[in-house]
Chain A
Amino acid sequence: MSNVVDGLVDREYAFGFHTNLETDLAPKGLSEGVIRFISTKKQEPDWLLQWRLDAFRHFVTLEEPTWPNVHHRPIDYQDMHYWAAPKPKGPAPKSLEEVDPEIRATFDKLGISLAEQERLSGVAVDAILDSVSVATTFKAQLAEAGVIFCSFSEAVQRHPALVREYLGSVVGSRDNFFATLNSAVFSDGSFCFVPAGVRCPMELSTYFRINAAKTGQFERTLIVAEEGASVSYLEGCTAPMRDEHQLHAAVVELVALDDASIKYSTVQNWYPGDADGNGGIYNFVTKRGRAGARARISWTQVETGSAITWKYPSVILQGDDSVGEFYSVAVTTNHQQADTGTKMIHIGRNTTSTIVSKGISAGHAQNTYRGLVKILRSASGARNHTRCDSLLIGSNCGAHTFPYVEVKNDTAQVEHEASTSKVSDDQLFYCRQRGLSEEDATSMIINGFCREVFDELPMEYAVEAQALMRLTLEGAVG
């Protein structure tokens, strides 16, 4: 057992390379001037600038929340850049072939060669390096189905009415500290619109990577599925190794109108910091979906990276018979801290939510599940089932569970199950007696623990997630 724990402590971040790109930076710090700078750079309409400024004016009145079960030195919001873009070496790329080869090489190192993706996997990738969307593949094929999938900036230019209708409709510009900051300075992100009755013909995928030093990344993602439409979306994230912390405060809004279905999967592997807790991404993310009648919103997340993870992908179950799901694996090692979970807000009648949370801690890490199940007076016949399992590896880590339940309708059924376990020596010995190495045995047991969540991921990413878990928890191996 001790070898495995040593392996965990020694693990190194496999995606810690940095690409030498000339970067176009906004001056450090946060001010109305910087927000105007961003908005001008992006050639935004005035209503959007005003929306940002409103958020900014509200932001300056807010204090950073102190309730999360995480500890870090104060973040100096004036000591970072709020805009970073690779300097174009010529006019904007019109196709994949025109994308800067160094940017392409970065993505190749990440194992998501766009060309490969395009040719082989049938996955449309909207790749975002720092703040600018580099290239979007498969646009034509999607357009044929009536699906809009593009960078947020492009959506603002080409589909302003849609953006204006739905932006902030689920996560308002004054929602919470980090979401408000995002609303003021968000740089880019993805936009997806699936018209009524259309089943999106392929998995959509966005790959985020933070490259420039001392940069915050503030993406804004908006996905709208009209009546009866369905879409499955996956985001993956990495960042290079740096000594200082980097801030990532994203917002994701999902709108599922009546009978629509949105499946949103995340594989997050931001740089977690070194073994002593230096560096690493502070990941403060607001994700929320609104489900109409009989609509379904499903969040699946595999969180292995970041120094701090603070996120609660949530569902507002507004329409009758709507369904919300949250499947999560959160892994923390070394000095990582995660305070993550979900909120299920039941408004409509006969609404159903399912929460399955698997937390894994090793080293000195702290892993917190925080969840809210809220059943409003209107939600007759609402049901929730919650399962929270924690797995501890070694004796210096911690697992915490804070389930909040508010029920205002006495026809509702709410169930909560929780367990805490360790990878037992007996399990390891059993596997090793059958010929598996200690690392393989540990990996197998942990993947078994995460099984229910991995089963929810699209097939190709389930394999990737297992490989990532192995990499995260075993460092020296593989």
Chain B
Amino acid sequence: MLCIDGLTVSVGAKAILNGLDLEVATGEVHVIMGPNGAGKTTLANVLAGHDGYDVDGRVTFDGLDLLTLTPEARAAAGLFLAFQHPVEIPGVGNMYFLRTAVNAVREQQGLPEVAAREFLTLARDQMAVLGMDPAFLTRFVNDGFSGGEKKRNEILQMSLLEPRLAVLDETDSGLDIDALRAVADGIERLRSPERSFVIITHHRRLLEDVRPDRVHVLNGGRIVRSGDHRLAVELEASGYGPTLAAAPA
């Protein structure tokens, strides 16, 4: 589904990703770990089409040349990014935002709009599952939300947009136990043979609830080690030190 081939990314003179290769097959859950500054968030941003980076290499997504597409076209193709720091949009109701997003994607996919009433039912169902207060819908997008509420809101958006590929950028950071469980449940419920995940995380805790197919260690702008879910356990026990020391420079 996603094939990253020799991805090189820099900002000005500073190289961030340095020939990164990664292949994610349909239905797989991949986890990317790595020390601070390794380029994890940059990878997520570049996949979603954030500008301001010098990008080289090739990324195909369901056969599309991803790097040539606008962010909204990537969204329409089924790519979703759960942001590490979801932005606040004062004055724009959450319900309105969610429905506009869903319908914008549907429009680009040639599907009819979801009517307000029907959407409300959908949203309420998803929110009940995520343990979110219905008052969420009438608040402004992320405005005055706690950290946990923002992350749940990202998962809610993911649930409603039903992407082909979800990239989650530290969605589990800074969450209490309940919020973490809600996020994990949200991911597990969406997991399907047709949908893939790239989960960027610092913590093994999430992986107790969401068992990944592959775990990768990102350092110095490329993937230095890959393994199955046991790699995450090992990393938590020993830190990144041994892995990075053993990896080729």
Contacts and interface: CB of A to CB of B under 8 A. Distances in A.
B104 interface: yes
B72 A435 contact: yes
Contact of A435 (B52, B89, B108, B141): B108
A450 B92 CA distance: 10
Contact of B91 (A433, A436, A451): A451
Given A435-B72, A436-B72, A444-B97, A430 B104 contact: no
A426 interface: yes
A50 interface: no
A185 to B, nearest CB: 42
Contacts of B86: 430
B90 interface: yes
A310 B98 CA distance: 39
A444 B92 contact: yes
Given A433-B81, A434-B157, A444-B97, A427 B89 contact: yes
Nearest to A450: B91
A434 B92 contact: no
Interface in B68-127: 70-72, 74-76, 80-81, 83, 86-87, 89-92, 97, 100-102, 104-105, 108
Contact of A445 (B49, B50, B92, B157): B92
Nearest to A427: B87
B140 interface: yes
Contacts of B91: 447-452
A436 B86 CA distance: 16
Contact of A444 (B48, B81, B89): B89
B49 A433 contact: yes
B104 A437 contact: yes
B161 interface: yes
Contacts of B97: 434, 444
A273 B183 CA distance: 53
Nearest to B98: A434
A432 B104 CA distance: 10
Chain A interface size, as a band, is 20 to 34
Nearest to B48: A433
A141 interface: no
Given A427-B89, A444-B92, A447-B91, A432 B70 contact: yes
Given A426-B87, A430-B83, A430-B87, A435 B75 contact: yes
Contact of A448 (B48, B75, B89): B89
Nearest to B90: A448
A430 B91 CA distance: 15
Contacts of B81: 433
A15 interface: no
Contacts of A431: 89, 101
A40 interface: no
A440 B140 CA distance: 17
A433 B87 contact: no
Contacts of A440: 100, 104
Interface string A409-449: 00000000000000011110111111111101000110111
Given A429-B50, A429-B71, A448-B140, A436 B101 contact: yes
B89 A445 contact: yes
B161 A434 contact: yes
Contacts of A447: 91-92
A125 B140 CA distance: 35
B49 A435 contact: no
A359 to B, nearest CB: 15
A435 B90 contact: no
A424 B90 CA distance: 12
Nearest to B143: A448
B162 to A, nearest CB: 12
B12 to A, nearest CB: 17
Interface string A440-471: 10001101111110000000000000000000
Contacts of A429: 48, 50, 71
B101 A434 contact: yes
Nearest to B82: A433
Contacts of A448: 89-92, 140-141
B143 to A, nearest CB: 9
Given A430-B83, A433-B81, A444-B97, A449 B90 contact: yes
**Which of A424, A430, A436 counts the most B-chain CB atoms under 10 A from its CB?**
A430
A432 B90 contact: no
Interface of A: 424-427, 429-438, 440, 444-445, 447-452
By Cβ-Cβ distance, the 4 closest A-B pairs, closest first, are: A448-B91, A451-B91, A434-B101, A448-B92
Given A434-B75, A435-B75, A451-B92, 15 more contacts: A430-B83, A431-B101, A432-B75, A433-B49, A433-B71, A433-B81, A433-B83, A435-B72, A435-B76, A435-B105, A444-B89, A444-B92, A445-B89, A448-B91, A448-B140
22 contacts: A425-B52, A427-B87, A429-B48, A432-B70, A433-B71, A433-B80, A433-B83, A434-B101, A434-B104, A435-B72, A435-B101, A436-B72, A436-B101, A437-B104, A440-B100, A444-B89, A447-B91, A447-B92, A448-B90, A448-B140, A451-B91, A451-B92
